[in-house]
Amino acid sequence: DDMARQHGMSRRSLDRRFSEHIGKPAGEFLHDLRLNYARLLILETDYSIADISERCGFSKQSGLSRAIREAEGCSPRE
């Protein structure tokens, strides 16, 4: 919603433009960016899962755990 407002368009218009150029809506694109950053931090750092979830913009550790489980089929610790 913030990005759409900053660019003077509706969220639907922003999603449509993202989909045309990137292949997915803005929210899905941002979620994928956050998830990829979390994967990198899990593999390359000693940060706790709670710290990684906060750094990547997940509101709770359980949100990151759920996203990883859905994408990878395992928990972040695995």
**Beta carbons within 8 Å of 69's beta carbon, 6+ residues apart:** 75
- pLDDT tens-digit profile, the chain (78 residues): 888 899 999 999 999 999 999 999 998 999 999 999 999 999 999 999 999 999 999 989 999 999 999 998 988 888
pTM above 0.85, yes or no: no
Dihedral sign from CA coordinates of 22, 23, 26, 32? negative
Cβ(28)–Cβ(34) under 8 Å?
A: no
